[in-house]
Every structure is written in C-alpha cells, then in structure tokens.
Amino acid sequence: MDLLVPSTGLLFWMSLTFLVVLFILWKFGFPVIVKMVSERKAFIDDSLRKAHEANEKLANIQKESESILQEAREKQASILKEAANTRDAIVEKAQDKAREEGARLISDAKIEIDNEKQAAISDIRKQVATLSVEIAEKILRENLGNDKAQMDLIDRMLDDVSSAENK
C-alpha cells in the first residue's frame, strides 16, 4: 500500500527539481531551439520564394530576349525589303530617265537630221537651179547662136503665152 502513498521527501525534491528544470528550460532551453527552427523555416521559405522569383525573372528575360531577337530579325527583314524596293525604284527611275534622254536625243537628232536634210535639199535645189540655169544659159547660148533660132523661140513662147491667155 505504501507504494501508492507519495512520500514527503520525494515530493519536496521532485517539486523543487522539476520547477528548477522547468524554469531553466523555459528560459534558456526550448525557446532557443524553437525560435531557431522557426527562423530557419522562415529563411528556407524566403529562399525558396526568392529562387522562384529569380527563376521567373530568368524566364522573363529569356522570353524578352527572344522577343527582342525576333523584333530585330523582323526589322532587319523590313529594312532589307525597303532597301531592295528603294534600289529597284532608283534603278527604274534611272532607266526611265535614260530612256527619256535617249528618246529626246534621238528626236533631237532626227530634227537635226531633218533640218540638215532640208538644208541639204534646198542647197541641192539651189545648186541644181543654178546649174540648170547655167546649163540652160549654155544651151540657150549654143541654140540661139543664130537669129533664126532666136526667132523660133520667141514665136513658140508667144504661142504658149497666147494659148495660156486663150484659155
């Protein structure tokens, strides 16, 4: 039965010891451990969050760089295209100009040629006229070497004039 009766001495020492232990552990023991563990937990959570953010940022940067590259490529293509267009246009323009110039030159040349031709023709005509007059003079001078021939001619001429008047 005395197993079930708490003895005073033991109770006294137990209370004292337990309360002292409780005080010491309350003050210096468990809170340190618990605080550290919770701090470490917060630290780990924070680190995880940061890593996550960094990952996201990295992904964003990659995406951004890709988009920048894409944009650059597009720009390059458009610039190239524009340059080709401009070149084509310039070439076209130059060709047009050349053609025009050629045409103008040709037409100028034609006009000149025409003028020259006209001049040449009129010159030839003049010369032919002079020549023919001279030839005619020479012929006349030969044919009208006697009076009779002169008379015949006058007659024939008179005939021509009169026939012209009669008409």
Angle of CA points 61, 65, 69, to nearest 5°: 170
49 is a contact residue toward other proteins (CB under 8 A): no
CA–CA dist 96, 90 (Å, integer): 10
**Radius of gyration (Cα) for the chain, nearest Å?**
65
Instruction: Give the Cα separation of 2 and 115 in Å (integer).
Output: 158
Toward other proteins, which CB reaches closer, 2 or 147? Answer: 2
Q: Determine the size of the site formed for other proteins (CB under 8 A).
A: 34
Taking the least distance from each CB to other proteins, the nearer of 40 and 87 is 40
- Residue 48 engages other proteins in binding (rule: CB under 8 A): no
With binding defined as CB under 8 A, does residue 54 bind other proteins? no
* Contact (Cβ atoms closer than 8 angstroms) between residue 117 and residue 123: no
**CB closer to other proteins out of 47 and 86:** 47
Residues that bind other proteins (CB under 8 A): 2-15, 17-18, 21-22, 24-26, 28-34, 36-37, 39-40, 42-43
